[in-house]
Amino acid sequence: MKRRDFLKQSLLASGATLIPSFLKGMESMSLDKISGYKNIIVIQLSGGNDGLNTIVPIKNDIYYKLRPKIAKSLKDTIRIQDNLAFNDNLKEIASLYDEGEMCIINNVGYPNPNRSHFRSSDIWHSASDSNKYINTGWLGRYLDANCSNPHHAIEVNKGLSLALKGEKLNGISAENPKFLYKNTQETFFKGIATNVDDTMLSEDNQGYLYKTLLETYSSAAYINENSKVYKTIQTYPNHKFGNNLKQIAQFINSGLTTRVYYSSLGGFDSHVNQLPKQDRLLKIYSKSVGALVNDLKKQNRFKDTLILTFTEFGRRVKENASTGTDHGTANNVTIISGSLKQAGVYNEIPNLQNLDANGDLQHSVDFRSVYATILNNWLEVDDTQILNSNFKKMNFV
C-alpha cells in the first residue's frame, strides 16, 4: 500500500479523531437554504439476517417441513397478504407497511454468491462482482462524482464502512458530535489547526495530513453546533442502535446538508438457538426505525427520506441441528419512505421449490439494481458512472 493511501485510510477510519468534513463556506449557510434535501439512510443488519423468519411464507409447507423447530407459527406473525406475514416483533414496521410507506423486494442477491461475512459485505459495500475486488464503496464513489464535501455522507458508528470510502472523498464517522468536537479542542490539536499556512499544505503526504486536520477542526465545530438546532422529544429504545438512529434524526431535523447516513445493527449470525436472538434484534430494529420515522414526520422530513435496509446474505432454508441456520444467499431488502411510487410486495415471494444445489434461495434481483434505482431516481445522479455498469432500474421511487 502506498504511504499516502495508508495515512488516508488510517485517519478516515478513526471515527473519533481526524475526519475530513465541511468546507468553511458551509458553516455560514442558514437553515432555510439547506433544508429539503432528499437523503438516504442505509441500515445494515450485520451477520446475515434470516429473511424467511423476518418476512414469513406462512402458507408454504416446505418452509415448515425444513424448519420444524424454528419456523414462525401463524400466531407469531402479522399478516401482510394471504401467503406472507411479518415476524410479530416487527409491529412498527408492519404499521409502516399498512400506511403504504414500505416496499419489500424479495430474492435480492448477486451471481456466484459468497458466504463469507467479510467478503460478502465488501461486495455489497463496493457493488462489485463477486470475483472482483474494489477498494471504494458505492456511496464513496457517489461522493467522488457528485459532492465537494465529505460531510455529505455520515456514518453513525465508531468506524467508517467501505461503502462510504471513495477515491477522492471519504464519508465521516461521527457517532458522538460532542466527543468529536472535544477532541479537536485539545491544546495540541487546536494549536496546529490554527497555525497552518499555505506552505504547509504543499508537500504531498504532510500537506494531506494538515489539510485533513484543518477540515476536521472546522467540521467538528460545524457538526457540534448545528446538530443542536433540533432536540428530539421522541422516545427511542435504550440501545446503541436506537441511539444511532436518534442521532441521525437529529442531524436531519437540524438541517444538515448531508445526503447519506449509514448505521448498522449487529448480531444476526444465528447458527445456534436462532429464534430468541433474532426476535430480540428484530424488535430493537422495528422500535428504533418506528421512532425515527415518527421523529422525521413531526418535522415534515419523512417525505425527503428513504431508508434502505439490507444484510450481507440470507440464511440456509433448512434449519441446522443447533436450532439455527447457516449462511445462505438471496434475501429480502426493504425500502421505507414517505415518497414511494410503489409500496407493498414488489415482486415474487421466495420459491422454496427451486433452491440451488446447496439448498439456498436463488436470486432474481441484482442488489445493484436497487442501488441504481436509488442513485438515479432518488439522488438524481448518474448511476452508471458510480456502479461502472448499467443495471436495470426499478419503480419503487
- Residue 396 maps to a domain: no
pTM of the model: 0.88
- Residue 395 maps to a domain: no
The residue among 288, 290, 260, 278 whose CA lies nearest residue 99 is 290
Q: How many domains in the chain?
A: 1
Instruction: Give the whole-angstrom CA distance, residue 129 versus residue 124.
Output: 9
The C-alpha cell 444467499 sits at: 329
% the chain with pLDDT above 70: 80
Tens-digit pLDDT profile for residues 28-61: 333 333 345 799 999 999 999 999 999 999 999 9
Burial of 361 (0-12, 13-18, 19+ CB in 10 A): buried
pLDDT of residue 15: 36
pLDDT of residue 277: 98
- The string of DSSP codes covering 76-98 is GEEEEETTEEEETT-HHHHHHHH
User: What Rg do the C-alpha atoms of the chain give, in angstroms?
Assistant: 21
Domain of 378, CATH number, reads 3.40.720.10
- H helix and E strand count, the chain: 13, 12
> Are 93 and 86 in contact, with CB atoms under 8 Å apart?
yes
The residue among 239, 231, 189 whose CA lies nearest residue 209 is 189
- Residue 43 maps to a domain: yes
Residue with the larger pLDDT of the pair 83 and 172: 83
- Residue 240 maps to a domain: yes
Instruction: Give the whole-angstrom CA distance, residue 301 versus residue 181.
Output: 26
- Give me the domain span that covers residue 57: 3-387
- Residue 193 maps to a domain: yes
- Residue 393 maps to a domain: no
Tens-digit pLDDT profile for residues 221-256: 767 777 777 888 999 999 999 999 999 999 999 988
| Whole-number Cα distances in Å, 208 to 137, 174, 199, 203, 214 | 21, 20, 12, 8, 10
Tens-digit pLDDT profile for residues 57-106: 999 999 999 999 999 999 999 999 999 999 999 999 999 999 999 999 99
- Residue 301 maps to a domain: yes
Summarize the confidence of residues 273-281 as an average pLDDT: 98
- Residue 236 maps to a domain: yes
